[in-house]
Amino acid sequence: MKAYAKLNLALSVGPPEQTERGVMHPIASWMHAIDLADRVELRPAESFDAQVTAEGFAVDWSLDADLGVRALRALERHLGRALPARLRIDKRIPPGTGLGGGSSDAAAVLKMANEAFDLGLGLDDLRAIGAGIGSDIPFFIDEGEIPGPAIVEGFGDRITRVERSNAILLLLLPRATCPTGAVYRAYDDLGARDLRDVRGCTLATCFNDLTEAACLVAPEVGAVRDATRNALGNQVHVTGSGSALFTFIEDPGRLSLDLGCRAIVTTLV
């Protein structure tokens, strides 16, 4: 199964609140999948056997820390029994970029394990299990392999699917990564903002409340944003808590730029 990356086309972040899962920030976000995906394979086995590989970057985290593995463990706890599986995750979505690769992997594992072991859990059940691991995971759990775009509110738990949009975009991947916790701490230091309604946003009015904080945590993000904006004359946006950025383009065949980082032409899906 492919586990697709996402963009936050719009992201409003409210002041932190105390929840059952600790202090969290409520959000309002317009989220959309893009044509960049990890590959996840899972099938029943005699014993647990997991492997995570990557192309273009190092896998510098332990298996126990991998969100896909954690999703399987959470499902086992929910059921009260082991689910011995052979799990392979081949990553193409860089971590620490705000593209949701780990969350997408976790969603794929939950869906595939539910089918492979004939568990009979509904999507809402899987979303609830996923929410205990990461707030982006419920977005990725949808009827099809590609999650439908959505307005995501609250703590990632309120999801309203909306129509798909069509666009070509340039995805920019600075070398720096943005640890989510560090970005949110920087955001709080800058002063809390009230939540904004993102339902009226269009591709021409994308925004991200975490942009300034991400640039403080990883100054390279701001440098790439400014260089791209100056070179193309386009608005350039951070996705999630960074470090990835994106800008919409019309003719990728005419691009011949050195923006100081890896760049991928892809599309909304």
For residue 100, pLDDT beyond 90: yes
Q: Which pLDDT score is estimated for 26?
A: 97
Q: What is the pLDDT of residues 176-185, one digit of tens each?
A: 999 999 999 9
For residue 257, pLDDT beyond 80: no
Q: pLDDT averaged over the chain?
A: 96
For residue 247, pLDDT beyond 80: yes
Return the CATH number of 2-161, one of 1.25.40.10, 3.30.230.10, 3.10.450.630, 3.40.50.150.
Answer: 3.30.230.10
For residue 201, pLDDT beyond 70: yes
Q: How confident is the model at residue 254 (pLDDT cuts 50, 70, 90)?
A: low
Structural contact between residues 238 and 225, judged by C-beta atoms closer than 8 angstroms: yes
In terms of Cβ atoms closer than 10 Å to its own Cβ (0-12, 13-18, 19+), residue 73 is: middle
- Amino acid identity at 80: G
* Phi, psi for 243 (deg, rounded to 5): -100, -5
pTM: 0.96
For residue 27, pLDDT beyond 80: yes
For residue 255, pLDDT beyond 80: no
Average pLDDT of span 109-120: 99
Written as six digits, the tokens of 49 are 């056997």
Q: What is the pLDDT of residues 36-64, one digit of tens each?
A: 999 999 999 999 999 999 999 999 999 99
Query: 240 in the Ramachandran plot: left (φ > 0), alpha (ψ -120 to 50) or beta?
Result: left
Whether domain 168-267 has CATH 3.40.50.300: the reply is no
Q: Which pLDDT score is estimated for 260?
A: 84
Provide the annotated active-site residues.
Answer: 6, 136
Q: Which pLDDT score is estimated for 21?
A: 86
What's the DSSP call for residue 113? H
Q: Which pLDDT score is estimated for 193?
A: 87
Q: Give the residue extent of every domain in the chain.
A: 2-161, 168-267
Q: Which pLDDT score is estimated for 186?
A: 98
Q: Which pLDDT score is estimated for 18?
A: 95
Q: How confident is the model at residue 220 (pLDDT cuts 50, 70, 90)?
A: very high
